[in-house]
């Protein structure tokens, strides 16, 4: 079975990354959700984030 | 009056949590104003524009919490911090588990059966998190906006390679396996499957399908750019294929603003090759014929829902349902003053549909939306003639909460429109469901109760399963003398009739 159709017949389990309210809404409607204690990567520094992104990209390309 | 600024180092909260905290603090005795915001460059600029010159603001880092509080009398810093902590402990959203992982990888080590990531972080980080989720074989819904087109193409191409759904960016609504995600209405499970590039369009149709006794198998949001030439409708085509193969789905509904012509051709071809009937609503596009083989072309969002429920329940769409018209038995009411229709919308698709219907009835419309049948307003803050304003547009929401969440800006504008002697009819959308304000009617009631002589119309988008209790919202509106509609097109046709009765 293809991935998307497999999702439709599986139990939905959400990983919530961002607004905490969404996590609560899913739980309140009977769904399963795990909230990530998210903070901006690289301490919210856009320049540092770009450097990390490039390093990750080049390591992913080399895999 | 005393103004205080306090910086709390390394104390990150999301924007909705901060809005809730700020709102709760403003209600406290002795507090005139309170703003809790993160120390991003944009937020610091906003505080400086407000006239705050405290040097601590400039030193705040993006992960630092800035507490701004304006009080009647002097407050010690310790007291303010205690007050904030108390409000946070009372109003913070609940989470399910004691352990909250700090990354996708960390989460997957503990919870191996996670299958979808819902991403609503600030736009500049969303593509990063989505890419990570896809690499970990998760389906993705990206609620965040401000993601570049290049990143969207990259993410969707990877999703296609791995047969993983990439809903968004800027995807406000989806319902997967009967669980509402983002801003969505609670509906019964059933045989209507949807793929939509329009968030409120998807909400309007899913809610009406439910209200007509039907149910939803899956409702897949794609984000507004999916059907552009550049993205090529990747998510809509994948969603369409998946719904064709899904045993629970009996009929498929596709909704979008008119797509790029080459993308439209691909969608028509793929939809007509499938084994299930498909309803296609490209908002604002002229419909030549309501049916071509197993493809159906409704006139509006309500018509989509009616056709879908007929097919779901009876296995076919009867001939008489191929047309849609609204009949009003009574003579339209006449307002005491004014000549013009004024619409204050929170849903862009609904505003768009209102313009399409009014223009087709010969009403000249001004708007802040880009619409081929309407003139642009000179200033979005000032209505001209018949005027439809989308208050969810970037112009109004930059740095502020969306008016579906925070009704303050619409309430103020509504008061202005109602006092305007040129206003005859007001059009409003009241969107209920997860993510939306807990009691929109109550929040707007100070403005609605002053409407003497005007005809106020409200389209209530919701279901009996929504947390706001649709029935009580309708009752409150009726008590305020508002004309209520559960079909958006019916409300707009009603407004056309009202102005048509004297023009």
**Distance from C-alpha of A13 to C-alpha of A23, rounded to nearest angstrom:** 11
Q: Which of these three, B270, B289, B324, is where a domain ends?
A: B324
Chain B residue numbers with beta carbons less than 8 Å from the beta carbon of A27 are 94, 96
Question: How many separate domains does chain B show?
Answer: 4
Which distant-in-sequence residues (6+ apart) come within 8 Å of B302 by Cβ?
B204, B208, B324, B487, B488, B489, B490
CB contact at 8 A, B443 and B437: yes
Q: Tell whether B350 is covered by a domain.
A: yes
Give the residue numbers spanning the domain of B289. Answer: 182-324
Q: Are residues B192 and B308 in the same domain?
A: yes
What average pLDDT does the segment A26-53 reach? 86
The CA distance from B12 to the nearest CA of chain A, in Å, is 6
Instruction: Measure the CA angle with vertex B300, ends B294 and B306; round to 5°.
Output: 60
Q: Is B268 a member of any domain?
A: yes
The ipTM value here is: 0.91
| Distance from C-alpha of B359 to C-alpha of B372, rounded to nearest angstrom | 10
**Are A13 and B116 in contact (CB < 8 Å)?**
yes
pLDDT at B50: 79
Residues B215 and B285 in one domain: yes
Give the count of Cβ contacts less than 8 A between chain A and B: 176
Of the candidates B96, B118, B177, the beta carbon closest to that of A8 is on B177
User: What pLDDT, on the 0 to 100 scale, is given for residue B239?
Assistant: 98
**Pair (B360, B417) in one structural domain:** yes
Instruction: Give the per-residue pLDDT at B20.
Output: 85
- Which pair of structure tokens corresponds to residue B340? 């013009």
Inter-CA distances, B260 with A23, B12, B76, B227, B267, Å? 35, 41, 60, 7, 11
User: Is the CB of B164 less than 8 angstroms away from the CB of A37?
Assistant: no
DSSP B184: B
Under an 8 A CB cutoff, do A34 and B96 touch? yes
| pLDDT at residue A58, as a whole number | 75
In a domain, B330, yes or no: no
Residues B347 and B494 in one domain: yes
- Tell me the per-residue pLDDT of A6-33, one tens digit each, with 9 for 90 and over: 999 999 999 999 999 999 999 999 999 9
Q: Residue B404 domain-assigned? A: yes
| Residues of chain A with C-beta less than 8 angstroms from the C-beta of B151 | none
- Which CATH number goes with the domain that contains B157? 3.40.50.720
Q: Is residue B110 part of a domain?
A: no
In this prediction, residue B240 carries a pLDDT of 98
CA angle (B210 as vertex; B208, B211 as ends), nearest 5 = 60
Query: Cα–Cα distances in Å, from B92 out to B59, B209, B333, B405?
Result: 27, 34, 46, 16
* A19 touches B: beta carbon within 8 Å: yes
> Based on the domain organization, do B35 and B140 belong to the same domain?
no
Where does residue B322 rank: exposed (0-12), middle (13-18), buried (19+ CB within 10 A)?
Answer: middle
Contacts of B248 in chain A (CB under 8 A): 8
Q: What is the pLDDT of residue A1?
A: 56
Distance in Å, alpha carbon of A57 to nearest chain B alpha carbon: 10
User: Are the C-beta atoms of residues B349 and B200 closer than 8 Å to each other?
Assistant: yes
The reported pLDDT for the residue numbered B122 is 87
B291: domain CATH number is 3.40.50.261
Q: Do B248 and A12 touch (CB under 8 A)?
A: no
Do residue A22 and residue B61 have CB atoms under 8 angstroms apart? no
The tens place of each residue's pLDDT in chain B, 503 residues long, gives 788 889 989 888 888 888 888 888 888 888 888 889 888 888 888 888 878 888 888 888 888 999 998 888 888 888 888 888 888 887 776 665 567 888 899 999 889 899 999 999 988 889 999 999 999 999 999 999 889 999 999 999 999 999 999 999 999 999 999 999 999 999 999 999 999 999 999 999 999 999 999 999 999 999 999 999 999 999 999 999 999 999 999 999 999 988 989 999 999 999 999 999 999 999 877 778 899 999 999 999 999 999 999 999 999 999 888 988 877 777 778 887 888 999 999 999 999 999 999 999 999 999 999 999 999 999 999 999 999 999 998 888 876 788 998 899 999 999 999 999 999 999 999 999 999 999 999 999 999 988 778 999 999 999 999 999 999 999 999 999 999 999 999 999 999 998 876 55
Phi, psi of B173 (to 5 degrees): -145, 135
Contact flag B116-A27 (C-beta cutoff 8 Å) = no
Distance CA B6, CA B28 (A): 18
Domain locations in chain A?
3-61
Tokens 């014929």 label which residue? Answer: B289
Domain identity same for B157 and B189: no
Question: Given phi > 0 = left and psi -120 to 50 = alpha, else beta, which region is B129?
Answer: alpha
CA distance A29 to chain B (A): 7
pLDDT, position B171: 95
* Residue B76, min C-alpha distance to chain A (Å): 29
CA distance linking residue B108 with residue B119, whole number of Å: 16
A12 and B115 within 8 Å at the Cβ level: the answer is yes
Single residue among B53, B76, B91 that ends a domain in this structure: B91
User: Shortest CA distance to B119 belongs to which of B111, B130, B110?
Assistant: B130
């Amino acid at each position: 079975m293809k991935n998307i159709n497999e999702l439709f017949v599986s139990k939905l389990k959400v990983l919530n990354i961002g607004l905490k309210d969404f996590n609560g809404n899913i739980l309140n409607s009977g769904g399963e959700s795990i909230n990530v204690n998210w903070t901006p990567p690289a301490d919210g520094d856009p320049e540092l984030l770009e450097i990390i992104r490039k390093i990750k990209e080049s390591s992913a390309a080399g895999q | 009056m005393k103004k205080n600024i306090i910086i709390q180092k390394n104390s990150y909260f999301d924007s909705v949590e901060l809005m809730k905290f700020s709102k709760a603090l403003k209600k406290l005795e002795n507090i005139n104003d309170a703003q809790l915001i993160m120390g991003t460059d944009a937020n610091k600029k906003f505080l400086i524009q407000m006239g705050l010159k405290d040097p601590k603001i400039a030193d705040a880092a993006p992960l630092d919490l800035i507490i701004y509080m304006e009080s009647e009398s002097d407050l010690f810093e310790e007291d303010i911090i205690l007050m904030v902590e108390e409000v946070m402990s009372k109003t913070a959203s609940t989470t399910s588990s004691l352990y909250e992982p700090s990354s996708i990888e960390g989460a997957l080590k503990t919870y191996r059966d996670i299958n979808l990531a819902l991403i609503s972080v600030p736009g500049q980080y969303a593509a990063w998190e989505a890419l990570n989720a896809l690499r970990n074989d998760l389906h993705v819904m990206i609620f965040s906006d401000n993601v570049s087109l290049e990143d969207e193409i990259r993410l969707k191409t990877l999703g296609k390679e791995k047969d993983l759904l990439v809903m968004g960016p800027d995807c406000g609504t989806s319902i997967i396996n009967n669980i509402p995600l983002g801003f969505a209405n609670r509906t019964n499970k059933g045989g209507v499957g949807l793929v939509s590039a329009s968030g409120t369009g998807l909400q309007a149709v899913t809610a009406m399908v439910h209200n007509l006794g039907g149910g939803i198998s899956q409702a897949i949001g794609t984000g507004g750019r999916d059907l552009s030439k550049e993205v090529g409708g990747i998510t809509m085509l994948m969603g369409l294929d998946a719904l064709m193969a899904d045993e629970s789905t009996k009929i498929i509904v596709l909704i979008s603003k008119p797509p790029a012509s080459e993308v439209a051709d691909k969608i028509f071809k793929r939809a007509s090759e499938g084994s299930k009937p498909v309803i296609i609503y490209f908002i604002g596009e002229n419909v030549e014929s309501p049916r071509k083989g197993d493809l159906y072309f409704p006139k509006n969002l309500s018509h989509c829902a009616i056709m879908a429920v007929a097919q779901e329940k009876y296995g076919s769409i009867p001939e008489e349902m191929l047309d849609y018209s609204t009949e009003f038995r009574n003579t339209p009411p006449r307002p005491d003053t004014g000549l013009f229709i004024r619409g204050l919308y929170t849903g862009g698709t609904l505003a768009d549909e209102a313009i399409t219907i009014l223009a087709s009835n010969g009403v000249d419309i001004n708007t802040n939306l880009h619409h081929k049948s309407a003139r642009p307003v000179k200033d979005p803050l000032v209505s001209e003639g018949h005027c439809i304003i989308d208050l969810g547009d970037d112009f109004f929401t930059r740095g502020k909460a969306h008016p579906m969440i925070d009704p303050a800006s619409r309430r103020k504008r509504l008061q202005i429109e109602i006092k305007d002697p040129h206003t005859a009819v007001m059009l409003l959308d009241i969107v209920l469901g997860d993510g939306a304000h807990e009691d929109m009617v109550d929040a707007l009631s100070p403005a609605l109760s002053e409407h003497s002589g005007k005809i106020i119309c409200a389209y209530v988008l919701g279901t009996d399963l929504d947390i706001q209790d649709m029935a009580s919202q309708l009752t409150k509106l009726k008590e305020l003398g508002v004309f209520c509609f559960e079909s958006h097109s019916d409300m707009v046709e009603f407004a056309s009739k009202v102005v048509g009765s004297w023009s």
